[in-house]
Amino acid sequence: MIKKSLLSVFFIAAYLFPLFSLVVPSFKPVDSIIFINENCTFSTLIPGVPPSQVQITVQSLPESVSFVSSRKQEVINGGMRSTELFVVLKFTKTGNYTIPPIAARIQYGFQHISFTRAAVYDNPRNTQPRLYLEFEDVHGNQVPAITEGKPVRAVLYGMYFASVLSVKSSAPENGLLIEKQSLFSIPYTQSTFTASPIALLIYEFTPFTQGTFVINSITAELTTWAGAAAVLGIEPKTVIVSPGDPADAAGKASNPFDEYTGISLFPNAFDSAAEGVPESAPSTADAEALLKSGIEKRKFLVYSALICALFCIIFIAVWFILRTVNKKRNGFIFPAALLFLAGVCIGLLLLPRYGVYSGGPVLTIPEHESKTAFIIEDPSIVRIHLETGLWTYIKLPEIHQQSVKKGGWVRSDAVKHITLQERSN
Mean pLDDT of the chain: 78
CATH classification of the domain holding 37: 2.60.40.10
What whole-number distance in Å separates Cα of residue 113 and Cα of residue 25?
7
Q: Are residues 99 and 40 in the same domain?
A: yes
Residue-level pLDDT at 191: 81
Q: Are residues 402 and 292 in the same domain?
A: yes
Q: Are residues 110 and 136 in the same domain?
A: no
Could you tell me which residues come within 8 angstroms of residue 381 by beta carbon, excluding any fewer than 6 positions away? 290, 294, 354, 355, 356, 357, 397, 418
Residue-level pLDDT at 263: 45
**Does residue 144 contact residue 168 with C-beta atoms inside 8 Å?**
no
Say if 273 falls within a structural domain. no
Say if 425 falls within a structural domain. no
- Quote helix, strand, coil % in the chain, to nearest 5: 20, 40, 40
The residue among 217, 239, 237 whose CA lies nearest residue 147 is 239
Where is the domain boundary, 121, 153, 186?
121
Q: Are residues 201 and 102 in the same domain?
A: no
CA dihedral 188, 192, 195, 197 (to 10 degrees): -30
Mean pLDDT of 178-206: 87
Say if 259 falls within a structural domain. no
Q: Are residues 167 and 238 in the same domain?
A: yes
Q: Is the pLDDT of residue 343 over 80?
A: no
Q: Are residues 143 and 219 in the same domain?
A: yes
Could you tell me which residues come within 8 angstroms of residue 270 by beta carbon, excluding any fewer than 6 positions away? 149, 150, 244, 249, 253, 388, 389, 390
Where is the domain boundary, 121, 138, 168?
121
Q: Are residues 370 and 310 in the same domain?
A: yes
CATH classification of the domain holding 238: 2.60.40
Q: Are residues 288 and 410 in the same domain?
A: yes
The model's confidence at residue 139, banded by pLDDT at 50, 70 and 90, is: confident
Say if 91 falls within a structural domain. yes
DSSP assignment of 284-320, as one string? HHHHHHHHHHHHHHHHHHHHHHHHHHHHHHHHHHHHH
282 or 101, which is more confident?
101
Say if 43 falls within a structural domain. yes
Q: Is the pLDDT of residue 273 over 50?
A: no
Say if 23 falls within a structural domain. yes
Residue-level pLDDT at 365: 80
333 or 156, which is more confident?
156
> What is the tally of structural domains in the chain?
3
Q: Are residues 100 and 218 in the same domain?
A: no
How many residues in the chain?
A: 425
Say if 406 falls within a structural domain. yes
Q: Are residues 295 and 385 in the same domain?
A: yes
% of the chain with per-residue pLDDT over 90: 16
By mean pLDDT, which of 40-49, 84-93, 261-270 is the weakest? 261-270
Q: Are residues 75 and 158 in the same domain?
A: no
Where is the domain boundary, 204, 230, 248?
248
DSSP assignment of 324-344, as one string? HTT---GGGHHHHHHHHHHHH
The residue among 398, 421, 424, 385 whose CA lies nearest residue 299 is 421
Mean pLDDT of 281-296: 72
Say if 261 falls within a structural domain. no
| Residue type at position 394 | I
Angle at 379 between CA 376 and CA 381, to 5 degrees: 90
Could you tell me which residues come within 8 angstroms of residue 382 by beta carbon, excluding any fewer than 6 positions away? 354, 355, 356, 357, 376, 394, 395, 396, 397, 415
Which residue range(s) make up the domain with 329? 284-417
Q: Are residues 164 and 225 in the same domain?
A: yes
CATH classification of the domain holding 300: 2.30.30.40
**For 173, which DSSP code?**
T
What whole-number distance in Å separates Cα of residue 299 and Cα of residue 419?
8
Residue-level pLDDT at 19: 47
Mean pLDDT of 123-149: 86
